[in-house]
Each structure stands twice: as C-alpha cells, then as structure tokens.
Chains A and B, each alone.
Chain A
Amino acid sequence: MTDSMKPLAITLTGCAKTFADGTKALEPLDLVIKSGETLVLLGPSGCGKTTTLRIIAGLEQPDAGGTVLFDGEDVTPLSIEKRNVGMVFQSYALFPNMSVAENIGYGLRLRKTPSAALRARVNEMLGMMRIEKLADRRIDQLSGGQRQRVALARALAVRPRALLLDEPLTALDAKLRDALRIEIDELLRRLGITAVYVTHDQAEAMALGDRIVVMEHGKVAQIGTPRDIYQRPATLFVADFIGTMNRVAGHVAGGAFVTSAGSIPWPEAPARATEAMFRPQDVSIADDGAAHLKGTITAAFFLGDRTRLAVDVGGDKPLILEAAARRDFSHGDPIGLRIDPHGLLSL
C-alpha cells in the first residue's frame, strides 16, 4: 500500500447500547484498539460483539455518555459515511446491479476519483485479491469465496482508516473458510491496517487475532492474546468457549488434587481449589499402576488421525481426551488417565 500514515487507533469509552424495545445489547464498554492491530470480538450470538462493531463503524449510536475516538478525535456524532471505515459483511452485500469492477470502484466513484486513477486502483485491488479474471462478471455469477474477495477489494479500494469485518467467513464452507482465513491474515499483516473482526468461531479468532475480546451477555469476559486466553482463561465461560476444557471436582490434600476417581499430583495447587481444569492434550492414557484417574469409556469417535474419547470419572460431564488412532477402544472399557501437572488450572 502507498499509505505511509500511521494506522488508526480506536478508543471506546463508556459505550453502552440499549435498543428501542428496552433490550440492553451492550453494557458500558471501554476498549482500546491499538494502531495496526487485528482485534477479534469473539462470543456466542447475542453477546454484543456485532453491536460493538456497529458502534465503531457508526451504524449505531452508543447510549448517551459513550464516545468513540479515532486517533483521539471524537467521531461519535459522525455517521458511517463520514468515518471512512471499510466494512465486510457475512452476506457479502455486493451491489447486484453492478459488475465486479464497478463494485470495487464504487467508493472511488463517490469520491470523484479521475477515471484513469480509478481504473488503476481497481486493477490493483483485483490483482491483490487475485480476481483479475472476474472484473467484468456479474455478482450472481460468483461463488461465495469470490464474492468475499470482491467485498474485501471493495472495502480496501478507498484506503479506509480501519477495516471492520462482521463474520466474513461464516457463510462459506469449511475448506474455503480455512483458505480465505489464511489469505485475510496475510492481507491484514501486509497492509498493517487496524482491523476489528467479529466472529463466533474460536478457531478463527485464535488464528487471526493479535488480541481477542471474549464477550458474554453484553460484557467483556476477557481481553488478551490468543495464548493468554487459551492458557489462562479468566472465567469458566471463557474456559469453556475457547477450545475444550475438562473439569473434575475434588479438594487439595498433600500436594495433590483428590477426586472420587483418584488423585492428581499438583504441587502448585491453590489451597482452596474445588475444581481442577485441564485441556485434552494434557491427558494421556496410562496403565493401572501409573494412572492418576480411573474411569470408563462412554464414547469413542474415530477421527482418522486420532481417536477422541469421552471418559466417565463420576462427574457431571465426561472428560474429553485424544488418543492415537492405532488403538481400538470400545464403549464400557475401563481406562486409566495421567494428567500433566503443568496443564492444571483452577479458577
């Protein structure tokens, strides 16, 4: 990109949103989006992530008292057409009455860009998204992946101050989603543009985000790097939402966590822990003598490269772990488990 300007920093202070019917979509939110970072808003539907994005975009006004700052300048009263932000939607939202090239050039046409410069920029965007051959196509002749590429090109053609993406990959099938996710990641890094990315898919969030904001019921549950959030979840909600988290109930006694199915050595256990949590990859299968916990297999899913097991150890929910695919497991088999003490957590 030719832009030499420093990417935009966005600051939200006290941004709440109550809809006309009285629903509170967002509790007062303070958020700093650093210059050039990709911030992912992650959470289940109805958590307020899209509302937050729409407030940043200027499509929604925050409740009285909330302010949105772009590089320190208050843009709260400005509507979206004055904010110069690029938007990408789940439904692509391409203009059906225009060709691919016309869609990409639309924002430049509104800015009265001279036609030679407009054509050059459109070609540059077509090249960047590798869709040169589609320039004259109608929108209804494109696949979902091609449409989203056109939408990205259209949003970036006007050199927006920030790129806002609202579940851009959700409408695509799994394979295409992975391919385009990598492409978007490369694109954002290369352009160095400040980006806010809304998704409900934790894998997408982990892969793309410099930082992730996990949201629940209109509130921020945790803000941090993907590693922080995965390894040190702040709440049970975050622990459950990001990846798979196993939980067993018990108490701490003599450097170990004692449960009804056996005890797990845990030198650094917090004295008052009543629950131990660990990820599936910190569990291994062990012989009776070496096992920390003993349980029975309640389900086994052969996944090709590995087998996913559900093991009942007397809790509300079975433990989830993964085993090498070579071994055969069947429902009802007894099994012994070892837990890596470095993977143990409690809240």
Chain B
Amino acid sequence: MTRDSYRLTTLLLPAGIFFAAFFLLPLAQLFHIGLTGKQGWGAYTAIVTDRNYFSSLVSTLGLAAATTAATLIISGIAGVFLQRNRFPGNGALVAMLTFPLAFPGVVIGFMVIMLAGRQGLIGDVSRWLTGDKIVFAYSMAGLFMGYVYFSIPRTILTVMAAAEKLDPKLEEAARSLGASTWRVVLDVIIPGLKPAFISAGAICFATAMGAFGTAFTLATRINVLPMVIYTEFTLEANIATAAALSFVLGAVTWVVLAVARTAAGSTVAAAG
C-alpha cells in the first residue's frame, strides 16, 4: 500500500465505521432476520407469490407515484408563481406553506379525518348540497390527500430555488421565435426545472413509500406496505416476514429512484 492510499484509508475510516455501524450492519441484520423464519427464502419470494403482499406493494407504489406526480404539478405551478410574483404577504404565505413539515403523520391523518371523515367538512357540505354525504378519509383517496399535503412543503422550496435560477432571456428568446405561453412552459420552464423536479420528486416518492403515521391514523383497512409490515410485526409476531418486507420496501424504492435518475440523467447533464 502506498503512503497516499494508506493516509486516505485512515481518513476514510471514521466515516466507514459510521456507515458500517449504522447502515450496513442493521441492513444485513434485517436481511438475515428475514431468512430466519420457517419459510426461509420464502419470506422474500412471498412479496410476489402472496397475493396480499403483492397487491399492497403495487398499491404502495401507485400511491407514491400518484403523490409524487400531484405534488410536483402543484408545487411546480405554485413555486414558479410565488417566485415570480412579489405581493404583500408573499413571505408569510411561503412560510405557511412549509408549516406541515413539522406535523407528525398522526396529525396529518387527524386533519384528513376532520376534512373528509364521517363528521368532516366535505361530508357536511356535500350533504347540504346534494343530500349525499361524501366520505373518503378512510381510504386510499384520504391517504393520497394527506400525503400530497405533507409532500408539498418538501418540494415547493426546491422548486422556488430552481425557478429563481431560470434565465428570463431564455423565455424571451422562445417568445421572439413565436412560442406561446404554453410552449414556453413546455420547452423552457419545465426543462429548466427538471433537475429540481427529480431531486424533490425522489424525496417525495421515498417518503410516500415509507410513511406510516397517517395511514395508521386513518384506517386499518388501508393496504399499504408499511401498514402490512406493522401488522406482521406487532399483531402476528411474524418477525421474519416483517423484516423481509421491510428490506424489499427499501430495495424497491431504491431501484425506482435509480431508474428515474438514470432516465433523466442525460438531459440533466445537458442542462448544466
């Protein structure tokens, strides 16, 4: 070993130890526990073979993808608007939008129930208007609403920071060539915000994959992976399955994000 690489190894050692102790070891342990059940590797294959687990994986992925898409659309529009237009109360509004960051999932769930639950505001209004009481808090729709609500603050600040760096001359150049407002959005603003969308979307997606508190507050019927893990772990005491599902949840999320980043990679580099 040369002197330089020796020194480099020494310098990297603390980070390496930390990484091993708090990431690799627990993950390996989790993976190992997944194999200790009586079904062995079956705990891992169950995610595809067991109809219930598989459907919960699919619905979790669907929910996370829908949440990410909705959040990016809302934060994209709102973020660019808030960055471009200075009006009285602008700062206060931005601060308020980031408010939900501090709420635990339970509080978000509670708010969804107050809005769309059996005694909720939406139900009252809809009964008054049509006679039918609309209640969707205890389903995927309620969960989706809660997730979008707490994802917006995570993405809107990133979008605003990126919108500030957009070159207004690019938009003027596009317009001088005959681009309508909509074309400018499509050809200049969205490509310009793409790196921000990817990083904010990744955080949003991962959070929605693993969020638990809101689902737990809303209903026991909701079939998302974190709820299944919780049920397996505490109610069924099926620790090996819970561990295997946890590992799969992490792995699937990682794969989706890696694919998304690779697919966007070439254009992101080009935007530099």
Query: Nearest chain B CB to A139's CB is how many angstroms away?
Result: 8
Closest to A107 in B: B177
Closest 7 CB pairs of A and B: A107-B177, A97-B191, A93-B169, A87-B176, A93-B173, A110-B178, A81-B175
Whether A106 and B177, one on each chain, are in contact in the complex, defined by CB atoms closer than 8 angstroms, is: yes
Whether B177 and A93, one on each chain, are in contact in the complex, defined by CB atoms closer than 8 angstroms, is: no
Bound CA–CA A85/B178 (angstroms): 9
Query: Nearest chain B CB to A84's CB is how many angstroms away?
Result: 7
Whether B176 and A81, one on each chain, are in contact in the complex, defined by CB atoms closer than 8 angstroms, is: yes
15 contacts between A and B (CB under 8 A): A80-B176, A81-B178, A93-B173, A95-B170, A95-B187, A95-B188, A96-B191, A96-B192, A96-B270, A97-B267, A97-B270, A110-B177, A110-B183, A158-B177, A164-B176
Quick check: is B78 within 8 A (CB to CB) of the other chain? no
Q: Which of A84, A91, A107, A151 is the one whose CB lies under 8 Å from B167?
A: A91
Q: Which residues of A contact B172 (CB under 8 A)?
A: 59, 80, 87, 89, 93
Bound CA–CA A179/B69 (angstroms): 49
Bound CA–CA A86/B176 (angstroms): 6
Whether B178 and A107, one on each chain, are in contact in the complex, defined by CB atoms closer than 8 angstroms, is: yes
Q: Which residues of B contact A81 (CB under 8 A)?
A: 175-180
Number of chain B residues close to chain A: CB under 8 A:
22
Quick check: is B271 within 8 A (CB to CB) of the other chain? yes
Other A-B pairs, 20, CB within 8 Å; known A89-B173, A97-B194: A80-B175, A81-B175, A81-B176, A81-B178, A84-B178, A86-B176, A87-B172, A87-B173, A89-B169, A89-B172, A95-B188, A95-B191, A96-B192, A97-B192, A97-B267, A106-B177, A110-B177, A110-B183, A139-B270, A154-B173
Bound CA–CA A115/B120 (angstroms): 56
Query: Nearest chain B CB to A268's CB is how many angstroms away?
Result: 50
Closest to A110 in B: B178
Q: Which residues of A contact B267 (CB under 8 A)?
A: 97
Residues of B at under 8 Å CB distance from A? 167, 169-170, 172-180, 183, 187-188, 191-192, 194, 267, 270-272
Q: Which residues of B contact A111 (CB under 8 A)?
A: 178
Whether A140 and B270, one on each chain, are in contact in the complex, defined by CB atoms closer than 8 angstroms, is: yes
Bound CA–CA A140/B268 (angstroms): 12
Bound CA–CA A84/B188 (angstroms): 19
Closest to A108 in B: B177
Number of A-B contacts defined by CB within 8 Å: 71
Bound CA–CA A93/B271 (angstroms): 13
Quick check: is A57 within 8 A (CB to CB) of the other chain? yes
Bound CA–CA A158/B170 (angstroms): 17
Q: Which of A86, A96, A106 is the one whose CB lies under 8 Å from B174?
A: A106
Whether A110 and B179, one on each chain, are in contact in the complex, defined by CB atoms closer than 8 angstroms, is: yes
Bound CA–CA A134/B169 (angstroms): 23
Question: Interface code A161-174, partner B: CB below 8 Å = 1, 0 otherwise?
Answer: 00010000000000
Q: Which residues of A contact B194 (CB under 8 A)?
A: 97
Residues of A at under 8 Å CB distance from B? 57, 59, 79-81, 84-87, 89, 91, 93-97, 106-107, 110-111, 138-140, 151, 154-155, 158, 164
Q: Which residues of B contact A96 (CB under 8 A)?
A: 191-192, 270-272
Query: Nearest chain A CB to B162's CB is how many angstroms away?
Result: 13
Query: Nearest chain A CB to B171's CB is how many angstroms away?
Result: 9
Q: Which residues of A contact B176 (CB under 8 A)?
A: 57, 80-81, 85-87, 155, 164
Query: Nearest chain A CB to B6's CB is how many angstroms away?
Result: 38
Q: Which residues of B contact A110 (CB under 8 A)?
A: 177-179, 183
Q: Which among B172, B188, B271, B272 has the highest number of chain A CB atoms within 10 Å?
A: B172
Closest to A99 in B: B270
Query: Nearest chain A CB to B170's CB is how many angstroms away?
Result: 5
Whether B271 and A97, one on each chain, are in contact in the complex, defined by CB atoms closer than 8 angstroms, is: yes
Q: Which residues of B contact A97 (CB under 8 A)?
A: 187, 191-192, 194, 267, 270-271
Closest to A139 in B: B270
Q: Which residues of A contact B183 (CB under 8 A)?
A: 110
Whether B178 and A140, one on each chain, are in contact in the complex, defined by CB atoms closer than 8 angstroms, is: no
Bound CA–CA A187/B270 (angstroms): 30
Q: Which residues of B contact A158 (CB under 8 A)?
A: 177-178
Closest to B180 in A: A81
Bound CA–CA A81/B171 (angstroms): 11
Q: Which residues of B contact A93 (CB under 8 A)?
A: 167, 169-170, 172-173
Query: Nearest chain A CB to B86's CB is how many angstroms away?
Result: 10
Q: Which of B170, B175, B177, B272 is the one whose CB lies under 8 Å from A140?
A: B272
Bound CA–CA A97/B188 (angstroms): 8
Query: Nearest chain B CB to A222's CB is how many angstroms away?
Result: 29
Q: Which residues of B contact A94 (CB under 8 A)?
A: 173
Closest to B169 in A: A93
Q: Which residues of A contact B169 (CB under 8 A)?
A: 89, 91, 93
Bound CA–CA A59/B188 (angstroms): 17
